[in-house]
Amino acid sequence: MSIGTVKLKIDGVEVTVPEGTMILKAAKDNGIIIPTLCSLEGLTAYGGCRICLVEISGSPKLFPACITSVSTGMAVTTNSEKLKEYRKMAVQMLLAERTHICSVCVADEHCELQDMANQLGVDHVMFERNWSRDEIDSTHDFLVIDRNRCILCTRCIRVCDQIEGVHTLDLKLRGKDSQVIMDLDEHWANSCSCTSCRKCAKVCPVGAIYIEGEPIGHTKRKDIAEFILTRRNRK
């Protein structure tokens, strides 16, 4: 069964993409980059970070580009003053939710949240900050999870499930209390399903999961999307 095509406008440019394509991919395939933190090519969309919000003509709402599919005649705006303000607010909320101090973080200068804040001009947080004191689990031989730095993007969970195929990682609780856990909330050393593949450390956009004793820049030296797509194509 053949897939039809859809014509729409993105930032005033008419593009043609396959039916069912998400706005984020439609824009990327046509050279228009929409910022995002939770989306990663090769993994299913999640729509959690809200950085990729776009405007659609005729609607007062904002839409997450990663989980909103295109439609014929749609007119999408990806970059406006309104969107910049919403994205800045989203980044500030992520920074305020947990303990993010760049100068003492293992991911300093290799952090996508830090890069996004710099790109958007976020130099302060206008919300009351929640200085979390969650447990740092370093019981694994070399993998460490610091939940105080987690932004709940679920990249680690999705790569563990969809690429490695073991689903060691998952979420417990809800909202700001959510935490990434191993198996049935075990210490990492007690996980019976973890294969120690390191994929979770490679895809973490911040300093929440890392390899002890290895510079983050070395861990992420290979393009993440290329890494995931290569692994998926081998299956």
Indicate the DSSP class of residue 5: E
Dmax over CA atoms of the chain, in Å, equals 54
pLDDT at 176: 84
Amino acid at 198: R
The tens digit of pLDDT for each residue in 22-54 reads 999 999 999 999 999 999 999 999 999 999 999
Per the CB < 8 A criterion, the answer to whether 169 and 184 are in contact is no
DSSP H or E run through 209: strand 209-211
Q: Is 197 helix (H, G, I), strand (E, B) or coil?
A: coil
Residue 230 clears pLDDT 70, i.e. is over it: no
- The domain limits of the chain are 5-79, 86-234
Amino acid at 161: D
- Domain range 5-79, its CATH number among 3.10.20.740, 3.40.50.11440, 3.10.20.30, 3.20.170.30: 3.10.20.740
Kindly report the pTM of this predicted structure.
Answer: 0.92
Tokens of 168: 């060691």
Per the CB < 8 A criterion, the answer to whether 7 and 29 are in contact is no
- Quote the Cα angle for 114-232-161, to 5°: 70
User: Which CATH architecture best describes the domain 86-234?
Assistant: 2-Layer Sandwich (3.30)
Quote the mean pLDDT of the chain.
Answer: 94
pLDDT at 1: 46
